[in-house]
Amino acid sequence: MRNIGRMGIHYMNRLHAANVPADLIEKGQKRVIEASLTLIRERAKLKGELVRALGGAFASSSLLGVPLGHNSSFLQGPAFAPPRIREAIWCGSTNATTEEGKELNDPRVLTDVGDVPVQELRDCGVDDDRLMHIISESVKLVMEEDPLRPLVLGGDHSISFPVVRAVSEKLGGPVDILHLDAHPDIYHAFEGNKYSHASSFARIMEGGYARRLLQVGIRSITSEGREQGKRFGVEQFEMRSFSKDRDLLENLKLGEGVKGVYISLDVDCLDPAFAPGVSHIEPGGLSFRDVLNILQNLQANVVAADVVEFNPQRDTVDGMTAMVAAKLVRELTAKISK
Ligand SMILES: NC(=[NH2+])NCCC[C@H](N)C(=O)O
Ligand SMILES: [Mn+2]
Ligand SMILES: [Mn+2]
């Protein structure tokens, strides 16, 4: 199953090689892209109408899955994360109430517009330039429907670039970003791939989509990561000084004077003891409660967020990391919805 995407690309290459007219392929791709966007557009419209009809919501989280794993430099399992996270959000072992009392069953708090069909698009030969634009377009379709705000389920971390681009373009200016991760993901082009999951924040900063970028949980950083951080004025908070920074990080106020705040949560910001189901095991990380303390105390208008890099193929048999990722989504929902 995990190779369908690649087989799809090879299949398209064979069609090109066999002199299948390029415009035939191009026209077919356009129809598939339109169909993909139509499904998301109509679901977002319906959920928006529903929330507005119920009334009283100023901001409301809406899940958008982006099952994309091929821009990972290591394992591609994050492509399979969105359905596993949804399953865990609604798992009967817990309940539908967030820690401070929001009801997830209430569509004014949480709705779902489904997944961008990444596999299907790649199978038709859609390349990454276009795929990234389709992801951006999908995010904008959610934002079109006031009061819906996108809560994106990755996927590897490459998806944050098209998502933040869309949020910034749609709101008409930069946002402040709180980025929790073991890695800064700011290489100019990791292993030659400008869309790499290790390069998304280079694209975001180049594009001018963020004013401030705060990176928290960092404990795997190369000299390029530090240089690029300086170059873009990134505020990098490393784990080795976390006990010193804790006070500041648990009392953050962000987003004043910009369009809002974006939160990007790479599950590997957590210590692998809390979240073993990730591609890049990096000891010495945050505890789950550290992350919740930072989130719950954050003063900010959170306009959108993502949870990325959960790899179900590396999870424990009881799906522990799926529950961890789901709880991050639940508490982000609480943060966004009001
Ligand atoms: N989004 C991520 N999990 N990125 C991990 C990047 C790992 C890469 N090997 C590095 O040196 O930084
Ligand atoms: Mn990352
Ligand atoms: Mn990471």
Tell me the C-alpha distance between 68 and 131, whole Å.
10
Going by C-alpha positions, the residue among 260, 268, 266, 270 that lies closest to residue 336 is 260
- Torsion sign, CA atoms 200, 203, 209, 215: positive
Task: Say what the pLDDT of residue 16 is.
Answer: 72
Q: Which residues pair with 115 in a beta bridge?
A: 65
* Averaged confidence pLDDT in the chain: 96
Residue 2: pLDDT over 50:
no
Percentage of the chain with pLDDT > 90? 93
| Tally of helices (H runs) and strands (E runs) in the chain | 11, 8
Neighbours of 252 (CB within 10 A): 18
The yes-or-no verdict on residue 62 having pLDDT over 60 is yes
Cα-trace Rg, the chain = 19
pLDDT at 273: 98
Query: Which ligand has the nearest atom to the CA of 218?
Result: 3
**271-274 own/partner pairs: CB under 8 Å, 24+ apart:** 274/324
Residue 8: pLDDT above 70?
no
Instruction: Please name the residues in contact with 311: beta carbons below 8 A apart, sequence gap of 6 or more.
Output: 75, 77, 78, 80, 81, 277, 278, 279, 321
331 pLDDT more than 80: yes
Q: How many CB atoms lie within 10 A of CB 120?
A: 16
Residue (of 219, 213, 268, 269) closest to 240 by Cα position: 219
Instruction: Give residue 4's pLDDT.
Output: 43
Q: Is residue 311 classed as helix, strand or coil in its secondary structure?
A: coil
CA distance 25 to 240: 52
Ligand 1 pocket by Cβ (under 6 Å):
73, 157, 183, 185, 197-198, 220, 222, 266, 268, 280, 309
Q: Which ligand is nearest to the CA of 307?
A: 2
> 85-135, pLDDT tens digit by residue?
999 999 999 999 999 999 999 999 999 999 999 999 999 999 999 999 999
234 contacts 205 by C-beta, under 8 angstroms:
yes
Identify residues whose C-beta is under 5 A from ligand 3, the ion: 181-183, 266, 268
Binding-site positions for Mn(2+) read 157, 181, 183, 185, 266, 268
Provide mean pLDDT across the span 57-82.
Answer: 98
ipTM of the complex: 0.95
- pLDDT number for residue 58: 98
Closest ligand by atom to 279 CA: 1
The two structure tokens encoding residue 289: 């409660």
Q: What's the pLDDT score for residue 210?
A: 98
For the chain, what percent of residues have pLDDT higher than 70? 96
What number is the average pLDDT over the span 73-94?
98
Give the Å distance between the CA of 218 and the centre of ligand 1. Answer: 11
What is the model's pLDDT at position 17?
72
Rounded to the nearest angstrom, the distance between the alpha carbon of 28 and the centre of ligand 1 is 35
Q: In this structure, what token pair is assigned to residue 310?
A: 């959960």
Question: Which pTM does this prediction carry?
Answer: 0.96
Mean pLDDT, residues 257-275 taken together: 98
Confidence at 20, pLDDT banded by 50, 70, 90: confident
Instruction: Give the pLDDT score at 12.
Output: 73
Nearest in space to 336 (alpha carbons), one of 110, 90, 41, 162: 110
Mean pLDDT in residue range 312-333: 98
Number of CB atoms found within 10 A of residue 222's CB: 12
What pLDDT sits at residue 18? 76
CA-309 nearest atom, ligand 1: 3
Strand spans (E) along 142-273 = 148-154, 175-180, 210-218, 235-238, 261-266
Look at residue 11 in the predicted model and tell me its pLDDT: 67
Give the Cβ contact number of residue 333 at 10 Å. 22
Provide the pairing of β-strand 60-66 with 148-154.
parallel
Q: How confident is the model at residue 19 (pLDDT cuts 50, 70, 90)?
A: confident
Binding residues, by number, are 157, 181, 183, 185, 266, 268
